Amino acid sequence: MCEICSKEFKTREALRYHRRLHIDSERRFVCNFCGIRFVFKHQLRDHMYVHLNVRDHQCEFCAALFSHPHSLRKHIQYHHGKGRPERKYACTYCNKTFPAPTHLERHVRTHTGEKPFPCGHCELSYSREDKLKEHQLKAHQLMPYVCPVCSAGFRLVKELVTHSFEMHQVHAYDMSRKRITTKD
């Protein structure tokens, strides 16, 4: 059993592999699109399908599309199979249960009103990071993705990827470039 998250494993090898996920210095492979860090290079490669919006793996039961075979397998297991993950993390406010502590943590914020993601441009805060990013894009018109060739700004990664390929015939993205807003 992992002493950090209490997840159980059948072998010591699997546990040793899992423990690396909890050590930040082990996460050496960084996605240039969103900043998520991975322990193994193949995890980053598989993750890139999300940004390229390639969804060519289809569920035979409900026709849902996925970017990676692993995502499809998890979907089938969770929604259509017998292997639904055990929901052992219970909310103390409403007794709903969740399969992972992070899911429970996010849910508890609906009861406590905690909003740990403040906007750096105004006084608003959000309970989820994705909601903060959505606010910043809409309310502050942030253009967080900048073309390294011509400095054009884009709201979405896929817009930058499309632009850089169509205009410059390259797949380009540079995290070190300054974020710009339309107000600058």
> What CATH number is attached to the domain comprising 140?
3.30.160
- In angstroms, the Cα distances linking 14 to 1, 74, 126 are 10, 18, 35
pLDDT value at position 83?
A: 63
Q: How many independent structural domains does the chain possess?
A: 3
| Together in a domain, 20 and 64 | no
| Together in a domain, 32 and 58 | no
The answer to whether residues 60 and 75 touch, using CB atoms and an 8 Å cutoff, is no
| Together in a domain, 122 and 171 | yes
Q: What does the DSSP assignment read for 80-138?
A: ISS-PPP--EE-TTT--EESSHHHHHHHHHHHH----EE-SSSS-EESSHHHHHHHHHH
pLDDT value at position 181?
A: 38
Please state, as a whole number, how many other Cβ atoms lie within 10 Å of the Cβ of residue 28: 12
Query: Is 101 among the domain residues?
Result: no
Query: Is 107 among the domain residues?
Result: no
Give the span between the Cα atoms of 118 and 139, in whole angstroms.
14
| Together in a domain, 41 and 65 | no
| Together in a domain, 123 and 168 | yes
| Together in a domain, 63 and 40 | no
Q: Tell me the CA end-to-end span of the chain in Å, nearest whole number.
A: 51
Q: Which residue has the tokens 């995502």?
A: 71
- Reading the chain (184 residues) residue by residue, the pLDDT tens digits are 888 788 888 898 888 877 777 776 667 788 777 777 888 887 787 777 776 666 778 888 788 888 778 888 888 887 777 666 677 889 999 988 887 888 899 899 999 999 999 998 899 999 988 788 778 877 887 777 777 778 788 877 777 777 877 787 665 443 333 333 333 3
| Together in a domain, 41 and 59 | no
Q: Which helix (H) or strand (E) is 57 found in, with range?
A: strand 57-58
Query: Is 63 among the domain residues?
Result: yes
Query: Is 112 among the domain residues?
Result: no
pLDDT value at position 157?
A: 72
Query: Is 99 among the domain residues?
Result: no
Query: Is 39 among the domain residues?
Result: yes
Query: Is 104 among the domain residues?
Result: no
| Together in a domain, 129 and 159 | yes
| Together in a domain, 30 and 69 | no
The bridge status of strand 57-58 relative to strand 37-38 is: unpaired
Query: Is 92 among the domain residues?
Result: no
pLDDT value at position 17?
A: 77
pLDDT value at position 91?
A: 94
| Together in a domain, 145 and 169 | yes
pLDDT value at position 35?
A: 73
- Which residues constitute the domain of residue 20? 1-45
128-145 in b/e burial notation, b at 16+ Cβ within 10 A? eeeebbebbeeeeebbbb
| Together in a domain, 126 and 169 | yes
